[in-house]
Chains A and B, each alone.
Chain A
């Protein structure tokens, strides 16, 4: 039938929306199954698998609209409702990518100061609906991988590296790889048994364990004995901030910074700040005077505006609002946005002069 030939998913959705206006068909479908909606990316917690006493792998079944083809090493945003309020964090995906998947896994260590990680590791019940942001990040392994690789890992920094190693394992493309992995104790070493099994199976993978409570923190010049050819290797480093700072400096001194890939879980603003200015929030009429270093999001929150927010790192676009007039600058790269009614990400932009936001 000619009609059926033209019947597409999108077309059906459009017709459905005429019936459900002002809502979308998704708003009703999710009453049947909470994952049947593309309005927001959602997932359902399937399982929380303890890895160590303070870390766990959280298996999530994403809903409609998810792509399982992430690059090994990328992270996802996850929004969890705690005390009625959605809080967002980014965590590395620890499961390997798949063309057709059913679930993804993130591995989280409960941080003393991080109430969300604590909540994920110990308190989140299977069946809990969370919000998700698509995989992102440049800390990825190319395919095929370089011939010689060094992974420099501290603590829960193992998670993106684990996704890479699992991918290499599954694809059978393990290169000459060295993994220098530090953790306070043997017991707190996430994925230890799986990594030992990997190094048994893959003669080209060398695992150097370091238990810092016993042996102290690894100094980078120990690399010369541990992995004498480190200068020839493409290096991926992930771990605590001070470790990454040290690595950056070390590789720079060797003039090899191009071979070093870093993953930081905090924003590093490269662009110039704005000039600051007065931000007017249209619906509430609240006004904020801000300097060039305060993001539009922070300014709104300080003024008591109910700003939407997500990852706070320019990834998930949850915080996007319409800039009615004025100009804002992206703190990451200095890009400026000034078209009337342009959508801007408030978490990574600062005002350049006076501007008006539609919220």
Chain B
């Protein structure tokens, strides 16, 4: 069941929620004040490693008809693509490195190595998903308009094919992400402005041409007689990145502990309540430092959703503090090993292919909401700041 009021669900008083918000603000301020040389060195090192890997992978594939070279080259290229998309691209576009005032590593100029144009990603992900996280009817990331991921979403016989759609989404994840900001749901309901759609499609088309040109035309041709083996290597590297990023992203909001919300929750949500919703709607996974780097530190999904624009290399230390806060306020902190978290997401996908009456819910059951009445306009506090509010300008 989706939650209409996080305060009721957590049984915290208004004052306790606001106090929690202040403590989280303090964590943010502390990290902001302590950003410095080490953090800058971290992202520059990451970029250096990623670019060297990409060059080494592409170079090795000039011998791609030799099977060991194919394997090594593909692996290096795949890892480079994963690093670029996750730890570097995703995080830079969130503005995590804007504080360095380096125009080469800045959210306003970064373009990533995937079919989705950065400008559209910043809208559909940074704004829509991070502002309206797990709110039914607002957050397209609940199933991406393809999968039924919450019991509140109405079942339709077409959902029976979910395991297949899921496999397709995982394989073709790059292309699914490319269509992210088009908002398939809105197009289906004919609510989409055709002008905006045309512009977006043009942008996507241009990006796709360049991406395909590089991976499936120019580099294979350059390797001459090894054309076919380079082509399969590049396709495999892209597939590696697709499967990996799909899995990491599905572990962010679909394991059992992550909750959904109804639009009543965001009606007059305060900044502190927004924090609370991010904590309840996200799920972490556990692992070593290498796993966290390879997943763009999204194993710290809760911390990332609380502070989307703080540098990712700091999430591990933030996590210690956030976890302590969860214990102090008796709040759930959803985490587990990667295989368990993904297993739960996969089970939900399969279960929700069927009507609700055939299956049972695995999520925690929230209590019935207590009606405390609505706040007046004057007492309605300022909404979130980090993700802001987009206008039609973004896409028109």
Contact = CB atoms under 8 A, between A and B. Distances in A.
Interface residues of B, number: 46
B102 interface: yes
B391 A356 contact: yes
Nearest to A79: B101
Interface in B32-74: 35-41, 48, 51-52, 55
Interface of A: 18-19, 21-23, 27-28, 31, 39-40, 79, 81, 83-87, 280-286, 304, 306, 308-309, 318, 321, 324-325, 356, 358-359
Contacts of B104: 27, 39-40
A325 B127 contact: no
B393 A40 contact: no
Given A281-B388, A285-B387, A285-B388, A81 B393 contact: no
B99 A306 contact: yes
B36 A83 contact: yes
B219 interface: yes
A346 B57 CA distance: 41
The 6 closest A-B pairs by CB, nearest first: A285-B388, A306-B98, A84-B40, A22-B111, A86-B101, A285-B389
Interface in B237-258: none
A280 B391 CA distance: 10
B95 interface: yes
For chain A, what secondary structure do more than half of its interface residues adopt (helix, strand, loop), or is it mixed? loop
Nearest to B95: A306
B108 A321 contact: yes
A84 B100 contact: yes
Interface string B170-189: 00000000000000000000
For chain B, what secondary structure do more than half of its interface residues adopt (helix, strand, loop), or is it mixed? helix
B36 A84 contact: yes
B100 A282 contact: no
B18 interface: no
18 contacts: A18-B210, A18-B214, A22-B112, A22-B210, A31-B48, A31-B51, A40-B103, A83-B36, A84-B37, A84-B99, A283-B388, A284-B387, A285-B387, A306-B101, A308-B101, A308-B106, A324-B393, A359-B108
Contacts of B39: 84
A18 B218 contact: yes
A285 B390 contact: yes
A85 B211 CA distance: 32
Contact of A28 (B55, B106, B108, B394): B55
A209 to B, nearest CB: 41
